């Protein structure tokens, strides 16, 4: 099998980390079902096998020492290996290149000898601990421990995977890597360190000399031999002069140099120093801020984990706002412009041209009121340009990440202009469909203010008022031209009101508005949407009333049949496909506990549709949000059906996508709630997950305390706190 690329090794690490958390008997099935790339799966399985071997290796007896009488020199046999040449030497021992002595197969290893005279009982305990720690760290970016023994009295040795490579700074310089390539390698280092931290291991001596890049361009972390478990008893044993032997001054954190206890953020400090060296003398402001935060004097001010540092570096690479900088509006806007330079240029020019033209035509219209025909033409042109600004530009921008604030501005300013036009024109000059355009503008403003399950600012009250205004203007249009369009606009406004009311548990109003929408709607897709909304309201409001739940499920089935009828007539629109996915999702939620297999099938059908839509437009953040939401919902169904491994995998994918969406658009208040419910799905599958529970509770406490809090949010928080009582470690 060909050597894997660095990116493939990153995928191996991700699959291994997901599988190793599962019970041993479930790992092979999980990889076979979830990991489609054979070469990735094979390497992940090898790592799992090594992990199992390491567990048995830990059970071996302590080191035994044979008789003295040897000298470390080339040709000396050490166990199954023969020394070739010395690679390096330090205060704690020396490292030799060795190869198999029995010739069974070609293999080179690095053997580390720890010497310095007879070992005390405490030193022997430390070396056994070092051996145990190293055996746990099976990761593509960490040099593996292969064997251990003793070559003489007081001279234990460790056989480690030999990395034929160059130190990170030398590799980046010799290969002429650009900034982004250097940062990718640094992210790999951070994630490997985070992997060790998750297993309660700190490196304690991170420095460029301990970070190699092999011939395939893969980062490899060396020498975890000075690491030790984060254990209070072990910390106390190392008080005094012995602690100083385990760190390098240039990379040691302030607390290390003061002789204080070492934590994972001590490694974060060292990583920050290394990042500063990779960045050069004049790093970009964002990168400099990241280095500054990672190397803060006070440990509590640094990044909370190596992964958090890696994620901020990834934000910098993606030209997203980094957490190390103050999150001002001006800063976030600059980052948005940097990420979308071509689009921003086009949109800015289009908006300037449009607004200029609107102003020009409006001025001409007022100046030429006596020339009625000319004024009417100009008025029509101004109307058309204004509606383009509100509808075409707004709807295109809406699909972009980070656009919530810009959407609100476009909808608000466009609406104000249309209403001013409606107030100024004489009855005979009223442009056709102006009422409908104003209704549509109010609808879009309501969406950005607080439409559930989409990016919004979390103001449900303002959204309801905007939808009511949309309803009023749609009713005005009923007696004028294009009555069919007016009926559908009215149905849309009523359905939107019901969506907010469902979230707020205002059931009577929701039912009234949905029934009103069904009574007037003519468009088949809108009818299916209103029917599905009615089914959703019936199920959510049932509170144990199985008859009501069944009526809701029946409404969803009728809505699904309605979409089938539309599809049979021709090519389905994206809106219809998305609605079909939503209906499958709602049916999946309904059947999840009544009939888990049927519920899971509906979720699988929903996910297939979202995957198709995501392939059509990977930059459409609405589709990305819906796809992440379905992964979260499917995870709950999988857990109910007994597929815990699949549930955890889907929940983790959902969490990753929602975290990305939240970072992209800080103005989107819905993103925080979405992330909380994705974590809730993971908790439901994982059971007692102390760290996950604490994080989920923290998210829901923030949501529940905010202005967009709902009854569902409070009930979820109560449920999570109840789970904590049965998972005591989660309360710490």
End-to-end CA gap in the chain: 47
Mean pLDDT rounded to a whole number for the chain: 79
Question: Residue 35 contacts by C-beta under 8 Å, 6 or more apart in sequence?
Answer: 15, 41, 44
Percentage of the chain beyond pLDDT 90 is 27
**12, 8, 19, 10: which is closest to 648 by C-alpha?**
19
Helix (H/G/I), strand (E/B), else coil: 112: strand
Question: pLDDT higher for 668 or 1?
Answer: 668
Element (DSSP H or E) covering residue 110: strand 108-114
Query: Is residue 404 packed enough to be buried (19+ CB in 10 Å), middle (13-18) or exposed (0-12)?
Result: buried
CA 590/CA 603 separation, integer angstroms: 11
Indicate the pairing of strand 219-221 with strand 211-214. Answer: antiparallel
**194, 186, 136, 135: which is closest to 14 by C-alpha?**
194
Confidence of residue 274 (pLDDT cuts 50, 70, 90): very high
Confidence of residue 511 (pLDDT cuts 50, 70, 90): very high
| pLDDT at 57 (0 to 100) | 43
**573, 483, 482: which is closest to 526 by C-alpha?**
573
**422, 2, 34, 484: which is closest to 216 by C-alpha?**
2
CA 96/CA 626 separation, integer angstroms: 55
pLDDT value at 374 more than 50: no
| pLDDT at 367 (0 to 100) | 57
| pLDDT at 622 (0 to 100) | 80
Helix (H/G/I), strand (E/B), else coil: 18: helix
Model-level pTM?
0.52
For domain 77-161, which architecture applies? 2-Layer Sandwich (3.30)
Choice among 510-514, 594-598, 668-672 with the minimum mean pLDDT: 668-672
| pLDDT at 261 (0 to 100) | 80
Please compute the mean of the pLDDT values over residues 408-426 and round it to a whole number: 69
Cα 307 to chain centroid, rounded: 12
For domain 165-325, which architecture applies? Orthogonal Bundle (1.10)
CB 624 within 8 A of CB 662: no
CB 37 within 8 A of CB 29: no
CA 113/CA 207 separation, integer angstroms: 20
- Under DSSP, the state recorded for 391 is I
CA 234/CA 334 separation, integer angstroms: 48
| pLDDT at 350 (0 to 100) | 59
CB 661 within 8 A of CB 674: yes
Q: What number of CA atoms fall less than 13 Å from residue 292's CA on the CB side? A: 11
Structure tokens belonging to residue 5: 């690329």
**212, 140, 142, 223: which is closest to 174 by C-alpha?**
212
Confidence of residue 553 (pLDDT cuts 50, 70, 90): very high
Question: pLDDT higher for 433 or 274?
Answer: 274
CA 140/CA 51 separation, integer angstroms: 12
Choice among 109-118, 330-339, 600-609 with the minimum mean pLDDT: 330-339
Domain boundaries, the chain: 6-57, 77-161, 165-325
pLDDT value at 370 more than 80: no
CA 508/CA 498 separation, integer angstroms: 10
SS3 content of the chain, % helix, strand, coil (to 5): 65, 10, 25
CB 538 within 8 A of CB 549: yes
Indicate the pairing of strand 165-167 with strand 211-214. Answer: antiparallel
| pLDDT at 5 (0 to 100) | 72
CA 534/CA 513 separation, integer angstroms: 9
Alpha-helical regions (H) of 399-482: 404-424, 434-450, 460-477
Element (DSSP H or E) covering residue 165: strand 165-167
CA 298/CA 282 separation, integer angstroms: 24
Structure tokens belonging to residue 545: 């009333």
pLDDT value at 238 more than 50: no
pLDDT value at 703 more than 80: yes
**323, 329, 488, 504: which is closest to 405 by C-alpha?**
329
CB 144 within 8 A of CB 59: no
Confidence of residue 561 (pLDDT cuts 50, 70, 90): very high
**17, 7, 16, 18: which is closest to 41 by C-alpha?**
16
Please give the radius of gyration of the chain, using alpha carbons only, rounded to the nearest integer.
32
**Sign of the torsion formed by the C-alpha atoms of 612, 617, 622 and 628:** positive
pLDDT value at 153 more than 90: no
Please compute the mean of the pLDDT values over residues 106-125 and round it to a whole number: 67
């Amino acid at each position: 099998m060909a050597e894997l690329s660095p990116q493939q090794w990153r995928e191996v690490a991700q699959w291994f980390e997901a599988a190793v958390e599962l019970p041993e008997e479930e790992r092979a099935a999980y990889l076979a079902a979830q990991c489609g790339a054979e070469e990735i799966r094979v390497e992940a399985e090898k790592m799992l096998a090594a992990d199992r071997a390491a567990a048995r290796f830990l059970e071996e007896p302590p080191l035994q020492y044979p008789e003295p009488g040897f000298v470390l020199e080339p040709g000396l046999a050490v166990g199954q290996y023969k020394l070739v040449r010395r690679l390096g030497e330090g205060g704690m021992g020396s490292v030799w290149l060795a190869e198999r002595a029995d010739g069974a197969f070609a293999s080179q290893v690095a053997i580390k000898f720890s010497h310095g005279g007879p070992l005390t009982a405490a030193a022997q305990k430390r070396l056994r601990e070092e051996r145990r720690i190293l055996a746990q760290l099976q990761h593509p970016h960490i040099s593996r421990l292969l064997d251990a023994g003793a070559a003489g009295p007081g001279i234990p040795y460790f056989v480690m995977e030999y990395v034929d490579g160059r130190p990170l700074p030398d590799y980046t310089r010799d290969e002429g890597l650009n900034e982004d390539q250097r940062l990718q390698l640094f992210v790999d280092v951070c994630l490997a360190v985070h992997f060790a931290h998750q297993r309660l291991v700190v490196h304690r001596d991170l420095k460029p000399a301990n970070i190699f890049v092999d011939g395939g361009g893969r980062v490899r972390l060396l020498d975890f031999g000075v690491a030790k478990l984060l254990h209070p008893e072990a910390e106390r044993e190392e008080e005094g002069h012995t602690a100083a032997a385990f760190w390098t001054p240039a990379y040691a954190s302030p607390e290390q140099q003061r002789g204080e206890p070492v934590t994972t953020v001590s490694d974060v400090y060292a990583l920050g120093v290394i990042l500063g060296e990779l960045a050069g003398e004049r790093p970009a402001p964002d990168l400099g801020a990241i280095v500054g935060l990672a190397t803060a004097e006070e440990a509590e001010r640094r990044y909370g984990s190596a992964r958090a540092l890696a994620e901020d570096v990834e934000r910098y690479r993606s030209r997203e706002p980094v957490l190390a900088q103050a999150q001002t509006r001006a800063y976030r806007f600059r980052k948005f412009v940097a990420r979308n330079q071509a689009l921003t240029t086009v949109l800015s020019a289009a908006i300037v041209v449009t607004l200029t033209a609107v102003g020009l035509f409006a001025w001409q219209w007022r100046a030429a009121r006596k020339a009625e025909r000319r004024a009417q033409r100009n008025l029509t042109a101004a109307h058309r340009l204004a509606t383009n600004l509100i509808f075409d530009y707004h709807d295109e921008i809406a699909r972009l990440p980070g656009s919530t604030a810009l959407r609100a501005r476009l909808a608000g300013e466009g609406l104000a202009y249309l209403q001013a036009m409606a107030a100024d024109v004489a009855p005979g000059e009223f442009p056709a469909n102006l009422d409908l355009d104003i209704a549509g503008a109010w609808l879009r403003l309501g969406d950005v203010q607080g439409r559930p399950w989409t990016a919004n600012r979390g103001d449900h009250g303002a959204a309801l008022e905007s939808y009511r205004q949309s309803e009023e203007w749609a009713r005005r249009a009923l007696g004028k031209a294009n009555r069919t369009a007016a009926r559908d606009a009215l149905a849309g406004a009523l359905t939107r009101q019901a969506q907010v009311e469902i979230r707020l548990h205002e059931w009577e109003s929701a039912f009234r508005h949905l029934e009103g929408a069904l009574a007037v709607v003519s468009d088949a897709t809108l009818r299916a949407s209103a029917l599905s909304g009615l089914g959703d309201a019936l199920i959510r409001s049932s509170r144990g009333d199985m008859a009501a739940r069944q009526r809701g499920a029946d409404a969803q089935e009728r809505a699904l049949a309605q979409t089938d009828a539309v599809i049979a007539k021709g090519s389905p629109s994206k809106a219809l496909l998305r609605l079909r996915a939503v209906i499958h999702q709602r049916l999946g939620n309904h059947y999840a506990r009544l009939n888990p297999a049927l519920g899971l099938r509906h979720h699988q059908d929903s996910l297939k549709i979202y995957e198709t839509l995501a392939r059509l437009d990977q930059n459409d953040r609405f589709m990305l949000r819906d796809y992440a939401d379905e992964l979260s919902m499917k995870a709950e169904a999988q857990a109910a059906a007994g597929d815990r491994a699949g549930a955890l995998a889907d929940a983790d994918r959902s969490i990753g996508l929602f975290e990305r969406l939240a970072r992209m658009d800080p103005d989107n208040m819905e993103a925080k709630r979405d992330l909380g419910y994705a974590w809730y799905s993971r908790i439901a599958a994982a059971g007692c997950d102390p760290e996950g529970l604490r994080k989920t509770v923290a998210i829901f406490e923030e949501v529940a305390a905010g202005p967009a809090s709902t009854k569902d949010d409070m009930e979820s928080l109560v449920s999570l706190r109840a789970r904590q009582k049965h998972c005591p470690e989660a309360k710490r």
